[in-house]
Amino acid sequence: MNEFIGRMDITAKGCNLYYGDFHALKDINIEIPEKQVTALIGPSGCGKSTFLKIFNRMNDLVEGCRIEGEYRIGGVDIFDKETDVNVLRKNVGMVFQKPNPFPMSIYDNIAFAPRTFGITKKSELDEIVEQSLRRASIWDEVKDRLRKNALGMSGGQQQRLCIARSLAASPKVLLMDEPTSALDPISTGKIEELMEELKKDLTIVIVTHNMQQATRIADKTAFFLLGELVEYGNTDDIFTSPRDERTERYITGRFG
Amino acid sequence: MSIRKIFEEELADLKTQLVEMCRLTEQMISDAITALVNRDRELGKSIGIMDKRVDEYEMAIEKKCMRILLKQQPVAKDFREVSTALKMITDIERFGDQAADIGDLVYTMPGDAYIKKLTHITAMGNLAVKMVRESVSSFINNDEALADEVIALDDQMDDMFLAVKTDLIELIKKDGRNGDQAIELMMVAKYLERIGDHAVNVAEWTKYNETGVHQKF
């Protein structure tokens, strides 16, 4: 069985994805560096979320979805027969636009994945819960109500709880699909700070519609349009001097 | 009106103000030379008053740029245009300062006959006006080639400055009584030479605006 050990860079070669007859991703080649934040930007329907989901094989269950190409995380082929999809997903966490805590206590949300991996000892679980909540910068806010239902938290807290829940599985990569689009500026700020902190240990790929967010947090930015990767480079370069006219028109709001 | 359209109008408005500010400084430099040549003290004094208007333009344009940055958070070429304008006004304001300084000198200079012909200084004044106009035009018209020409013109300015300096040193050596006026003419030449340097700065910002790379020449 393939293991994910050591480096955690992401590569896609000759990526083509089809939903039935619809060619959703066209010939994408990209190398995403480890321990950096990479932003995927582009208009709705351009394929950026579809592309993001490939990396923890969220598209496997989508009917009619066909994927071609080679995808590696830390050198490991994620579609290889020897790659266990559960091991992949343990290593590649995902956070969605809408916070989706499980309808159970804060503690149980975080302990869910470790329990699945067979950890039952209370002291060990306590340790993981505290560490995960601390890393997601929410420990101080919830430490006195760990047994309360997670659904009673604010949207911003729920989202950080979901990040903490991902971290409890000790992932190497965190995929974030518009994680702050439903949050107020304060919660958004906290999650952005969190990404800055987490990238010391993790590779983060984020889909965002907020250009200023991309400039603030992303080291690299990739611009998708109509299923193609139009431009990919250092965020500073993309937002000050994009090479492609289409990138320029999109980020300056001149499309259409 | 779409947000994009509002932004484009704000940018167009910004450029109009930049051109007006620039025209004002061209007039000031030209007046400064006329005042010097004709010994027109009143004209010299009036340049200082015009300089207040230049300062007002600087403040107004600066405010406008900051407002655009705050409200529109521009990126790519939009970002470069606004930041270029914001940097450029500092140099344009200096054009005005230097012209006003020449005006002040004319106003306070004793009325003795000139110790030398003002051929070079007049030529420097004309070149300064040309460099000022073309540096700002290069930005307004997105004309990188014109910015390069401005940068190249600065060599002529430096050569003329050197010629004036050499002349004046000779005149002081010949007769110490030439000293006072020689120093004043030297200052005029230095102000004009500085205007050339500021025009080069403006041209460099134009090149940044076009290419995304800010390079010193």
**What Rg value do the Cα atoms of chain A yield, rounded?**
18
**Tens-digit pLDDT string for chain A (256 aa):** 888 888 899 999 999 999 999 999 999 999 999 999 999 999 999 999 999 999 999 998 899 999 999 999 999 999 999 999 999 999 999 999 999 999 999 999 999 999 999 999 999 999 999 999 999 989 999 999 999 999 999 999 999 999 999 999 999 999 999 999 988 899 899 899 999 999 999 999 999 999 999 999 999 999 999 999 999 999 999 999 999 999 999 999 887 5
Going by the DSSP 8-state scheme, the letter that residue A256 receives in this structure is: -
Kindly give, in sequence order, each residue whose CB lies less than 8 Å from that of residue B20, ignoring residues fewer than 6 positions away: B57
- The residue type found at A120 is T
Task: Mention every residue, 6+ apart, whose C-beta is less than 8 A from residue A26.
Answer: A16, A226, A227, A228
Q: Does B79 touch chain A (CB under 8 A)?
A: yes
Q: Which two tokens stand for residue A14?
A: 């000759």
Calculate how close chain A gets to B211, using CA atoms only, in Å.
7
Q: Please count the residue pairs, one from chain A and one from chain B, whose beta carbons lie less than 8 angstroms apart.
A: 34
Identify from B5, B73, B75 which residue to disrupt to test chain A contact, counting A C-beta atoms within 10 A and taking the largest count. B75
Question: pLDDT at position A256, please?
Answer: 52
Q: Does A241 touch chain B (CB under 8 A)?
A: yes
Contacts of B155 (CB under 8 A, 6+ apart): none
CB–CB of A41/A211 below 8 Å?
Answer: yes
Substitution target in A41, A209, A240, A250 with the highest count of B β-carbons within 10 Å is A240
Put simply, whether B4 touches A (Cβ < 8 Å) is: yes
Distance from CA of B14 to the nearest CA of A (A): 18
Radius of gyration of chain B from Cα atoms? 19
| Residue type present at position A75 | G
Q: Which of A101, A211, A97 is nearest to A165 (CA)?
A: A101
Q: Which CATH class is domain A10-102+171-251?
A: alpha beta
Q: Which of B216, B214, B201, B217 is nearest to B91 (CA)?
A: B201
CA atoms within 13 A on the CB side of A129: 24
Structural domains for chain B: 3-211 (1.20.58.220)
Looking at residue A183, its pLDDT comes to 86
Name which of B157, B181, B158 is nearest B168 in CA terms. B181
| Pairwise CA distance, residues A195 & B21, whole Å | 45
Tell whether B40 is within 8 A of chain A (Cβ). no
Nearest alpha carbon to residue B68 among B56, B55, B81, B50: B81
Backbone angles phi, psi at A221, to 5 degrees: -135, 140
* A141: closest CA of chain B, how far (Å): 33
SS3 state of residue B42:
helix
Q: How far apart are CA B183 and CA B169, in angstroms?
A: 9
Q: Is B113 helix (H, G, I), strand (E, B) or coil?
A: coil
Q: Nearest-CA residue of chain B relative to A242?
A: B76
Residues of B whose CB is below 8 A from A255: none
CA B135/CA A199 separation, integer angstroms: 44
Q: Do B76 and A253 touch (CB under 8 A)?
A: no
Render each residue's pLDDT in chain B as its tens digit; 217 residues: 788 888 999 999 999 999 999 999 999 999 999 999 999 999 999 999 999 999 999 999 999 999 999 888 999 999 999 999 999 999 999 999 999 999 999 999 988 899 999 999 999 999 999 999 999 999 999 999 999 999 999 999 999 999 999 999 999 999 999 999 999 999 999 999 999 999 999 999 999 999 999 999 8
Intra-chain end-to-end CA distance of chain A, in Å: 49
